[in-house]
Amino acid sequence: MPPIFLSKPQQFDELVLQKYEDFVFDLDGVIWTGPGGNTLTPHVKETLEYLRSIGKRLAFVTNNATRSRKQYLEKFHSLGLTHVVLDEIFTCGSASASHLREVILPEIEKEGGPTGIYLIGQASMEEELREEGLAWRGGTDPEDDVLLPPQDFSSIMPDPEIGVVLFTFQMRINYKQLAKAFNYLNFNPDCRLVLTNDDFSMSIPGGGSIPGEGAIASVLLNARKNLQPLIVGKPHQPLLDVVHRALKFDPTKTIFVGDRLETDVLFGKRGGLDTLLVWTGNSKPHDLVGLGDHEEPTFIADSVGELLKGVPKEKAAPRVKVPGEVREEVRQARGEVEVRA
């Protein structure tokens, strides 16, 4: 069924506000936007507060593991979204740590394999592992934060205790880290490779894009034949499984709100959720052309803040005008634009 473009108050009320109990939001391009992600999308604060006031449950997910959940909580609060609590935030890093503890390590233990974790990742990933009570090697260990002398492989050797290589974004990645991870995966045929996400590239404030986790981790995929990594973040399922284990949501009454067709909409659909695609981020209307049923969102709206249109007038708080609207009003007052009734 083609997506429904939500624009009328009745649609927001009947098709969304009355139907769904749990609202799961992507962050970048949905809750906030701009180069540093420091600008809230229009009316998002009032919208989230309204949803909460009528008993809806909220959750926030992101494929960015370079901040910990606690750091994201600080960001929410610093942007004025002070009602958000830690348990509502899930990053692909925190979900990887949860998934390791709840699913992967118990599986390995059952098989009698080694449960040591070798981490390629930054301090934020270490914080999430610590929160789950897990130990690791590598990470920010100064021993691995070095450039090896030419042709000196003496520090690279198998470790039979390593059963998981966990890979996430690491700005200080080097040959020693990659060689150790590759060697562990190669030496132990049961050693698992877990990626927080497989995003191939990411755009940067200076323009253009740079390699993401998926691109950098591709080096490790050839460590042995038929190595299948477990990918936690969107559009893969473990991230949603972690949210589900935490919130026990009913998929038929849950909607995922995102800004990217190829990750967010796919992520929601794979998890059996209806999806709302908003235009405040990555995907643009022309991206919908030629899509199959399995790729289309359930709904489309200009922004998350549009949901406020479904709020009965007597309950709606006065809307705070965004700068663009104020400018538009001034232009209309000056007769510079045609005002349609």
* Residues of the binding site: 26, 28, 234, 259
User: Within positions 264 to 283, which residues make up the interface with Mg ion, using CB under 5 A?
Assistant: 281
Please give the C-alpha separations between residue 230 and each of 48, 62, 272, in angstroms, as whole numbers.
33, 17, 20
Q: Between 177 and 263, whose beta carbon lies closer to Mg ion? A: 263
Q: Does 259 bind Mg ion (CB under 5 A)?
A: yes
Residue nearest to Mg ion (CB): 29
CB closer to Mg ion out of 62 and 168: 62
Tell whether the torsion through CA atoms of 33, 34, 35 and 37 is positive or negative: negative
Distance between alpha carbon 101 and the CA centroid of its chain, in Å? 20
If binding is defined by CB under 5 A, does position 199 make contact with Mg ion? no
Which helix (H) or strand (E) element contains residue 46? Answer: helix 44-53
Indicate the residue type of 110: K
Give the nearest distance from C-beta 41 to Mg ion in angstroms. 11
SS3 107: helix
User: Taking the CA of residue 283 as centre, how many other CA atoms within 13 Å lie in the half-sphere pointing to its CB?
Assistant: 26
In the beta sheet, which residues pair with residue 4?
A: 299
Catalytic one of 22, 28, 199, 274: 28
Chosen residue from 22, 28, 199, 213 binding Mg ion by CB under 5 A: 28
213 near Mg ion, judged by CB under 5 A: no
Nearer Cβ to Mg ion (213/259): 259
Q: What tokens does 227 get?
A: 């190595």
Q: Which of 17, 24, 25, 26 binds Mg ion (CB under 5 A)?
A: 26
> In the chain, what are the helix, strand and coil shares in percent, each to the nearest 5?
40, 15, 45
Number of residues that bind Mg ion (CB under 5 A): 5
Segment contacting Mg ion by CB under 5 A, of 29-37, 39-47, 81-89, 304-312: 29-37
Tell me the one-letter amino acid at 94: S
**Contact status: 144 vs Mg ion (CB under 5 A):** no
> Which positions from 155 through 184 interact with Mg ion, judged by CB under 5 A?
none
Residue positions forming the annotated binding site for Mg(2+):
26, 28, 259
Binding residues for substrate: 234
- Which of the ranges 22-30, 218-226, 272-280, 326-334 carries the binding residues for Mg ion, by CB under 5 A? 22-30
Q: Which stretch binds Mg ion (CB under 5 A): 20-28, 35-43, 91-99, 147-155?
A: 20-28
Which listed range, 47-55, 66-74, 192-200, 257-265, lies at the site for Mg ion (CB under 5 A)? 257-265
The tokens of 254 are what?
């849950």
DSSP output for 265-329: IHHHHHTT-EEEEETTSS--GGGGTT--GGG--SEEES-GGGGGGGS-GGGPPPPPPPHHHHHHH
Residue type, 243: V
Q: Is residue 190 helix, strand or coil?
A: coil
Of 125, 108, 132, 110, which Cα lies nearest the Cα of 191? 108
The least distance separating Mg ion from the CB of residue 63, rounded to whole angstroms, comes to: 8
Stretch that binds Mg ion, among 28-36, 99-107, 159-167, 199-207 (CB under 5 A): 28-36
The sign of the dihedral angle between the CA atoms of 103, 180, 94, 23 is negative
By beta-carbon proximity to Mg ion, the closer residue of 40 and 223 is 40
261/307 with CB nearer Mg ion:
261
| Interface with Mg ion (CB under 5 A), residue from 29, 139, 238, 271 | 29
Whether 28 sits among the annotated catalytic residues: the reply is yes
Task: Tell me the C-alpha distance between 160 and 246, whole Å.
Answer: 33
Question: What is the nearest approach in angstroms of Mg ion to the Cβ of residue 268?
Answer: 12
Catalytic residues: 26, 28
Binding site for Mg ion (CB under 5 A): 26, 28-29, 259, 281
